[in-house]
Amino acid sequence: MSTQIQFSVQATDGKARTGVLKTPRGDIRTPAFMPVGTAASVKAMLPENVAATGADILLGNTYHLMLRPGAERIARLGGLHEFMNWNGPILTDSGGFQVMSLADLRKLTDDGVTFKSHIDGSLHRLSPESSMAIQRLLGSDIVMAFDECTPFPATKAQAAKSMRLSMRWAERSRAAFGDRPGHALFGIQQGSVFGDLREESAAALRRIGFDGYAIGGLAVGEGQAAMFEALDLAPSQLPENKPRYLMGVGKPDDIVGAVLRGVDMFDCVLPSRSGRTGQALTRFGAVNIKNARHADDPRPLDPACGCPACRNYSRAYLHHVFKAREMISSMLLTWHNLHYYQELMDGLRGAIAGGSLSGFSREFREMQDRGDLTRRG
């Protein structure tokens, strides 16, 4: 196991924790939100702009990078950090979720998955061993074990079969990862919405031993209530002294609810995807800048926000450039959304450290329930 990547919990408030995950490329403050750089780029953002929002770590996508431009090419060009000009830590997912989403284009066996590229239809294969090899070529700091993300809905029997396959793959991922000082391997808990299956999965992962533990198979259509019910158990089933990462989550209220239940790390495409589709995420909920009521509004998205979009531009301008399909629309709205997410994480860390998370959470919900400032007269 890695000896150079270490996690320490610095304060707790109920089940919530704040801490630091130390890596050779920099510290990751938790709770942490990881912007998604699917194809070695956070869409509409320069890496230095992403860093300016307060992000400590980015996420890259093994499936997409292996298809284009190719892991071997990235390795020849100095690895993913140099290739995309990001000096901080990078986590790469294993490709399991993307392969699952291919549905009819894949063939699953105990050995691995054969699938057709969504780009050109070419045939490829992913296994625990090849996923570890690809992520090694990429040079990612945090590597995810290869798993099958159980689809939803699934019967308990289907979820159990899928989870046990992932646990066999977790053991093979651990063996293939080997001893890589300065790099970490995270195992992924599965089990859908079934608490006893998640406990079985957690026990298997604890026996194998990982540097961190992810909670997979949620935010795949089960709804927030079912996700929170699973999270009432899942984080506490995983080791206390290791980081807990909820994959693919999520909306701001999803994140706050998961932090209250003991989760440390998050990723989601929502901030950047929403920015490209004209939606700003704020303390007062979502603002759809494409709506006509913003056309003559001289106010910023949020007067308390310090991002460039709020400091320097009006809602009227943001409405105009979105309607005109100017690239600056995606740039400014994405920057705002990522800034808001990092501001939210900073607020959560401070509230946990100060023992005031309950009040922070209550105020967060009240402000979100108020809605867009424009609607308040």
Which residues are known catalytic residues?
Answer: 93, 267
Render 215-276 in DSSP notation, one character per residue.
Answer: E-S-SSSS-HHHHHHHHTTTGGGS-TTS-EEETT--SHHHHHHHHHTT--EEEESHHHHHHH
Phi, psi of 164 (to 5 degrees): -70, -30
DSSP helix/strand/coil, 34: strand
Q: Give Rg (Cα) of the chain.
A: 20
Q: Please list, in sequence order, all residues whose beta carbon lies within 8 angstroms of the beta carbon of residue 322, skipping any fewer than 6 positions away.
A: 278, 289, 290, 329, 333
Bridge partners, residue 288, by sequence: 279
Q: Could you give the CA distance from residue 200 to residue 74 in angstroms, rounded to a whole number?
A: 37
DSSP helix/strand/coil, 143: strand
Render 174-211 in DSSP notation, one character per residue.
Answer: HHHH---TT-EEEEEE--TT-HHHHHHHHHHHHHH--S
Of the chain, the end-to-end C-alpha distance in Å amounts to 57
Q: Please list, in sequence order, all residues whose beta carbon lies within 8 angstroms of the beta carbon of residue 362, skipping any fewer than 6 positions away.
A: none
